[in-house]
Amino acid sequence: MIKPQKPLPDVGELVVATVDKVFEYGAYVKLDEYGDLQAYLPWSEASSRWVKDVKEVVKDGQKIVAKVIRVDRVKSMVDVSLKRVAEGDRRRKMQYYKRLVKGAKIIEIVSQKLGKSVDEAYRDVVWKLDNHYGDPLTGLEEAVVRGPGALIEAGVPEEWVEPLINEARKHITVKKVSVRGVVMLRSLRPKGLEDIKKILLALKEAGEKVSQEVKVNVYTMGAPRYAIEIEAREYGEAEKALNAVVNVAEELSKTLGVSFSFEREKK
C-alpha cells in the first residue's frame, strides 16, 4: 500500500482509485494513494453520457482515475468524478502511479536491508525523489545512470545511497536511443591516414562531451566510409551530439586538408 504524503487530496487533484462497492446511484471507491481512504463517486459524475445505472460505467475491483470535486477536511470525506477526467490526463496519471508503485517497492526492499521502517523509507527517500524528479522511479533511473549525485541532490540521506543504487541496478534497465550517420573522409597527403584517425578521434570526443550519458561508436565500412552511431537516453540529446560530431569533423577536415562529407542514415 502506498503511504500518503498528505492526509487528504486537494480539490481538482487526479487520484487513482479502486472501485469498492457499486450501487444504482453511485459507488464507493478506495483512494490507492491515500491509504485506501474511502471516497464517493456520485451517479451524476460517473459518465458524460446518460446512464441508467452506475454499473454500466464501473464495476467492483476496477482501477480508475478520478478527479477530486469535494473535500470535507473535518469529516475526512471526499467526492470524486470520473467524467471530468480527460483521456490524456487519465493515461498520464496511471503511468505516474505505476512508476510510483515500482519505485516505492524497490525502496522498501532497501529499507528492509537497512533495518528501516516503511515510514522512514517514504520520508527519507520516496517523497524526496518524487518531489525532485516527478516520481521516485525516475530518481532511481537517474542514480543508475549518474551515480550517487542523483540521490544526494534530491536530499536522500547518505546511508541510503549505495544500497539504493545497488538494488536499483537489479530492477532497472535504462533504455537508450540511437542515431546514425556515415562520414566520408579522403586524403591524398602523405600523412592522410594519420589525419583521418585524428578526425575520427576528435569527433568521438566531441560527441561524448555533450553529456556523460552519450556514447559515440565509430565503425569502418571500408575506407573512405565510416559509420557514426550516437547512443543517448533521449533523441534530443543524441541529435545534439550528432551535430557536434559533424561540426568538429568538418572543421578539422578543412584544417587538415581532408575531403569530408556526411550523410544521415534514416531508419
Domain boundary residue, one of 171, 193, 214: 171
Task: Determine, yes or no, domain membership for 3.
Answer: no
Least confident of 78-82, 146-150, 161-165, 208-212: 208-212
> CA nearest 94: which of 63, 67, 122?
63
Across the chain, mean pLDDT equals 93
Least confident of 37-41, 51-55, 154-158, 188-192: 51-55
Task: Determine, yes or no, domain membership for 2.
Answer: no
Question: pLDDT at residue 206 above 60?
Answer: yes
Question: pLDDT at residue 267 above 60?
Answer: no
Say yes or no: 128 and 196 in one domain: no
- pLDDT of 251 reads 94
This prediction has a pTM of: 0.71
For residue 54, give the C-alpha cell. Answer: 452506475
Least confident of 42-56, 221-235, 240-254: 42-56
Could you list the beta-strand ranges (E) of the chain. 14-23, 26-31, 37-42, 63-72, 77-81, 177-186, 215-220, 225-232, 259-264
Say yes or no: 120 and 156 in one domain: yes
Task: Determine, yes or no, domain membership for 219.
Answer: yes
Say yes or no: 100 and 157 in one domain: yes
Please tell me which residue, 48 or 14, carries the higher pLDDT value: 14
Mean pLDDT of 192-220: 91
d(CA 84, CA 112): 40
Full DSSP string of the chain = -PPPSSSSPPTT-EEEEEEEEEETTEEEEEEGGGTTEEEEEEGGGS-SS--S-GGGT--TT-EEEEEEEEEETTTTEEEEESTT--HHHHHHHHHHHHHHHHHHHHHHHHHHHHT--HHHHIIIIIHHHHHHHSSHHHHHHHHHHH-THHHHTTT--HHHHHHHHHHHHHH-----EEEEEEEEEE--STTHHHHHHHHHHHHHHHHHHS-TT-EEEEEESSTTEEEEEEEESSHHHHHHHHHHHHHHHHHHHHHHT-EEEEEEPP-
CATH number at residue 30: 2.40.50.140
Residue with cell 521516485: 136
- pLDDT of 133 reads 95
Say yes or no: 34 and 63 in one domain: yes
Residue with cell 577536415: 253
- Looking at the structure of the chain, the number of domains it has is 3
Task: Determine, yes or no, domain membership for 8.
Answer: no
Task: Determine, yes or no, domain membership for 4.
Answer: no
Say yes or no: 182 and 132 in one domain: no
- pLDDT of 223 reads 82
Question: pLDDT at residue 102 above 70?
Answer: yes
pLDDT digits (tens, 9 = 90+) for 40-92: 999 889 887 877 778 888 999 999 999 999 999 999 999 999 999 999 999 99
- pLDDT of 146 reads 85
Say yes or no: 259 and 183 in one domain: yes
The domain of 122 spans: 88-171
Q: Which of 51-55, 151-155, 210-214 has the highest mean pLDDT?
A: 151-155
Confidence of residue 156 (pLDDT cuts 50, 70, 90): very high
Tell me, what DSSP letter sits at residue 125?
I
211: which residues sit within 8 A by CB, 6+ positions away?
232, 237, 241
Say yes or no: 166 and 181 in one domain: no
Task: Determine, yes or no, domain membership for 227.
Answer: yes
- pLDDT of 155 reads 97
Classify residue 156 by burial, with Cβ atoms within 10 Å: 0-12, 13-18, 19+.
buried
Residue with cell 556514447: 215
Say yes or no: 75 and 96 in one domain: no
Mean pLDDT of 219-243: 90
Confidence of residue 27 (pLDDT cuts 50, 70, 90): very high
- pLDDT of 25 reads 84
- pLDDT of 235 reads 86
Least confident of 84-98, 129-143, 175-189: 175-189
